[in-house]
Amino acid sequence: MVDRAMGDKLARLVRTHEFRLLLATLALATGLSIATDTFLTAQNLFDLLTANAFAGILAAGLLVVLVAGGIDISFTATASVAQYLAMTAANAWGLDWASVFAIGILAGAACGAINAALIEGLRIPGIIVTIATLNVFYGLLVFTTGGRYIYALPDWFAQGIWWFEYVDAEQIPYGLNLQILLLVLAFAATAWLLNRTGVGRRIRALGGNREAARRLGFPVFGLNLLAYGYMGMMAGIASLAQAQLAQSVAPTVLVGRELDVLAAVVLGGASLNGGIGSVTGTILGLTLLAIMQNGLVLAGVSSYWSPFFTGLVILLSVSTAALEHRRRPASVGAAA
């Protein structure tokens, strides 16, 4: 009996989107480890994590919005605003870590709340609202700052955080830095929110069937406010990780990367129809895209081709997911 149950569980696991992603990721990683002697080095993996922390933290936030049945593409503008406000304040008033993060998180959450209020208040599609707010946040930021970069960051911020620092044979240091720490925290917080809290279950229910959630008396506006606010918070945190890595604040460099993040979350199995999406899947989606781009570079393919392969992987993924969905009998006549 126990064996049967285990077998069923295993069979179900094998059919999941996450499992296929895991296989693809492992196959790619194994191939790269054999083909190159630079891929499977602590240095390369450390660099990969650090370089992808910004997109990863944003992906954790976006997952919550997608699970709630919404969509947000304004978060790169939100991140630019949060970054600029936090670092300007840090320079002006000589703040510390906690205050800088508080300002970044609050600014981000405020932008997210504006999105939620517009979507729910005016009842227009999230894609239209966030295309508009992307341009409003970004346009106002560049207009008021004149597009000026901030190069002078406080010393403590420029130094960042280094825990368990280790220096390899070539004197290159690695360890747990600010970017990796924030990335891990972002995914842990998102997993806790979606899987371990009542609010998380309500957000998933809202995304699965909005009308049912409303009739059950769920606070639809409040849940949306939470989902978009959470996305904004993550944008604030990601923006500070990025500013520390780039050692500067540039109001114009983040906007334009929003669709890459959306691509990773969708590749991870989250559905634009809401209700579906997991932290594991999102991490795997991000990993697959990151390893693929890293692998192309290591294999000597020009980095100019990287967006093409990203597009190819997204199209293959959304097509197989749609075909899988169609094969299930329950989906006859499912909404587009």
**From residue 319, how far is each of 59, 207, 233, 257, 322 by CA, in Å?**
21, 22, 32, 23, 5
In whole angstroms, the minimum distance from the beta carbon of 147 to another protein comes to 8
Verify binding: residue 132, another protein, rule CB under 8 A: yes
Closer CB to another protein, residue 74 or residue 179? Answer: 74
Size of the site for another protein (CB under 8 A): 52
Verify binding: residue 138, another protein, rule CB under 8 A: yes
Verify binding: residue 125, another protein, rule CB under 8 A: yes
Tokens matching residue 148: 């000026």
In sequence order, the β-bridge partners of residue 177 are 162
In whole angstroms, the minimum distance from the beta carbon of 119 to another protein comes to 10
Residues of this chain, 261-320, that bind another protein according to CB under 8 A:
262-263, 266, 272-273, 302, 304-312, 314-315, 318-319
Which residue type sits at 138? Y
Stretch that binds another protein, among 22-30, 79-87, 124-132, 226-234 (CB under 8 A): 124-132
Closer CB to another protein, residue 140 or residue 158? Answer: 140
The interface mask with another protein, positions 5-44, x = CB under 8 A, is: ----------------------------------------
Stretch that binds another protein, among 9-17, 200-208, 237-245, 258-266 (CB under 8 A): 258-266
In whole angstroms, the minimum distance from the beta carbon of 257 to another protein comes to 12
Instruction: Centre a 10 Å sphere on the Cβ of residue 5 and count the other Cβ atoms it contains.
Output: 9
Write down the residue that tokens 């904004």 correspond to: 232
Verify binding: residue 214, another protein, rule CB under 8 A: no
Tokens matching residue 116: 């939620």
- Whether residue 71 contacts residue 130, with contact meaning beta carbons closer than 8 Å, is answered with yes
Verify binding: residue 148, another protein, rule CB under 8 A: no
Write down the residue that tokens 């500067």 correspond to: 248
By CB under 8 A, name the one of 139, 148, 165, 212 that touches another protein. Answer: 139
- Whether residue 255 contacts residue 184, with contact meaning beta carbons closer than 8 Å, is answered with no
Stretch that binds another protein, among 43-51, 97-105, 132-140, 209-217 (CB under 8 A): 132-140
Binding site for another protein (CB under 8 A): 71, 118, 121-125, 127-129, 131-136, 138-140, 142-143, 147, 256, 259-260, 262-263, 266, 272-273, 302, 304-312, 314-315, 318-319, 322-323, 325-326, 333-336
